[in-house]
Amino acid sequence: MNEERHHRTIQSFVKREGRITRGQQRALDELWPLYGITPDSPVDLDALFGRTAPRTLEIGFGNGEALAEIAAQQPEHDFIGIEVHRPGVGHLLQLLQKRGINNVRICNTDAVKVLTDCIPDNSLDRLLLFFPDPWHKKRHHKRRIVQPGFVQLIARKLRPGGIFHMATDWQDYAEHALAVLQASASFRNCAGDGNYSVKPEYRPLTKFEQRGQRLGHGVWDLLFERRQVDE
């Protein structure tokens, strides 16, 4: 799903197109005008959604099933999903139409660029990063999206009190992210220093995660709150 700028530009992804089904291509052709956004300047989120509401942004939504489920459960919230994998975008568009979900908008580009150039500061209530590319080889760890520069960036975009929620099935990445986030003066660990959080009810179990559980694989959730300005 994910990454490289911020001192050697971190991107949020590795470009992998994959095969697009006829249904996904039809959704991209017909539904993108309804749900898709191609921002190249700061976005007026109230105008985009036609209301003022709590805002959640997900980086790398994969096939979109988790995002569609959360958005359906929380119609009073607005959601922005970012994914570079076009088959996944097409699949999410199909889900949104099938389930009549209208509180989601989609970007099909690099998340770091969107956050830097298009999302206003102090505008997000929650930022989700579920199962990012772990770059498991040690020489590739520098490509992981969760780095000090990225943490500074999302701290600017979250409102004080806003939540950054990451989940990973790679313990090494969980430990890395925990250390990076706890080193930031902008965030407070919701589970207490050195601890991982219990999976919130709003995060659906993916098929991938369910399979991993059957195989005995662990999953680590990290929830960090953006500190109040005067803390």
- The residues assigned a catalytic role are 133
CA-angle at 166, arms to 59 and 100, nearest 5°: 50
CA 208 to chain centre: 17
Q: What are phi and psi of 69, to 5 degrees?
A: -65, -45
* Sequence-distant (≥ 6) Cβ neighbours of residue 85 within 8 angstroms: 1, 13, 16, 17, 18, 62
Say if residues 116 and 94 touch (Cβ distance below 8 Å): no
d(CA 92, CA 86): 10
